[in-house]
Amino acid sequence: MNENGSFPICDGLSENPSKHCAVLVITENVLNGQNGWPHFAQPSDELRNGTLTFVKANGRVYGITCWHVIEHFRKQLSQSGDPYSHSMRTMVNGFYVVLDRFIRPEPQLGDPPIDIAVRELDPDLVSTIGKSPIDLDSQPKAPEAIRHGYAVGFPETMKYKKMEDRSGYRISMPQVEILAEIQEFPSRRFALFSELDNKPSQTDYSGMSGGPIFWSTEEDYGIFGIIYEGGVGSELSEGKSVYVYGEVATPEVIRSWLSQLSA
C-alpha cells in the first residue's frame, strides 16, 4: 500500500496509475519534409491533447474523454478546411488512430449538459498499447465514506522531444497523479481540493481532461469520476493548493452513458 498522509492508495493502482488511460493527442496527418516530399507526421509537442479512459461493460470495451476535447479536434479540422488534416492518436507502443465516433451522452433529466464523450473501442487497441479497461461489472463496491480522490492524466505542457537515434526524435509524455480531498461521495459534478506545504512543480493541468478519478482503500479501488478541469490555487494562497473538477462517473452513471450509444 502507498499511503500519502492518511490517504491510502492500494498497490494495484499505485504501481501503475495510468494502466486504465492513455493520452489522446491531436496530430497533423501529413507534413512536408525538407526535401519537399510529404510524410506522415508523428504527434507534435505544440498541438493539444486530452486523456482517454478505458472501461469494460458486458464484455465490450469503451473509451471516455471530455466533450471539449472532441470539440477542439473538430474545430481544428474546420479551421484547416480539410476533414482529413488531423487525427486523434494514442502515443504508447506506437501511434494508433482513434476515429471520431464519439457521442455526447444526455444528462439525467433536470441536470445541465455534461462534459463527456464516449465511444466503443476495439479491445485489441487497448491491449496493444499495454492498457487495460476498468471492468465495471467486477468493480468493488465503493466505501460509504470517501475522503479523497486519485486523479490521473496527461498534462499537455509536459510533452517533450526525446531523441531516439540518428533518424530523429519522438514525442514523449509522462502522466501526473493528483491526490486530493473530497468532503463526501458526490452525486453530480464535484471538486477535489487540498492545501499543500509547497507550490507543486506542475501548475498547468490542461490535457488531463478525460482522465479517471479513483476512490481507493488499502485493498481496493474503483472509478467514480472523470476529470474535466484542474489547476493550482490562486496567487492569494501562493499557489500552495491543488484542485480537480470532475464529472461523476460511477459504474451506474457510466452504464447510462454507454446505453445511449445504441439508442
Do the bridges between strand 38-40 and strand 7-9 make them parallel or antiparallel, or are there none, so unpaired?
unpaired
Residues 132-188: tens digit of each pLDDT: 999 999 999 988 888 899 999 988 776 555 555 555 445 556 778 889 898 777 878
Are 114 and 107 spatial neighbours (Cβ–Cβ below 8 Å)? Answer: yes
pLDDT for 201 beyond 80 = no
Highest mean pLDDT among 26-35, 56-65, 181-190, 206-215: 56-65
Distance (Å, whole) CA 151 – CA 225: 9
Distance (Å, whole) CA 249 – CA 255: 9
Higher pLDDT, 82 or 197: 82
Tell me the domain boundaries of the chain: 2-261
Are 215 and 151 spatial neighbours (Cβ–Cβ below 8 Å)? Answer: no
pTM of this prediction exceeds 0.75: yes
**AA letter at 46:** E
**AA letter at 150:** Y
Are 171 and 91 spatial neighbours (Cβ–Cβ below 8 Å)? Answer: yes
What backbone phi and psi angles, to 5 degrees, belong to 254?
Answer: -60, -40
pLDDT for 20 beyond 90 = yes
Query: Whose CA is closest to 62, among 95, 105, 91?
Result: 105
Q: Can you give the pLDDT at residue 46?
A: 63
Q: Can you give the pLDDT at residue 169?
A: 46
pLDDT for 253 beyond 80 = yes
**AA letter at 255:** R
Query: Whose CA is closest to 247, among 224, 230, 222?
Result: 224
**H or E segment at 128?**
helix 123-128
Are 233 and 81 spatial neighbours (Cβ–Cβ below 8 Å)? Answer: no
Query: Whose CA is closest to 8, among 105, 147, 109, 102?
Result: 147
Are 61 and 127 spatial neighbours (Cβ–Cβ below 8 Å)? Answer: no
Residues 94-123: tens digit of each pLDDT: 678 899 999 999 988 888 899 999 999 999
Distance (Å, whole) CA 253 – CA 258: 9
Distance (Å, whole) CA 218 – CA 221: 8
- At a CB cut-off of 8 Å and minimum separation 6, what does 124 contact? none
Higher pLDDT, 93 or 24: 24
Whole-Å CA distances, 172 to 46, 78, 83, 205: 12, 27, 26, 16
pLDDT for 126 beyond 90 = yes
Q: Can you give the pLDDT at residue 210?
A: 96
Q: Can you give the pLDDT at residue 177?
A: 87
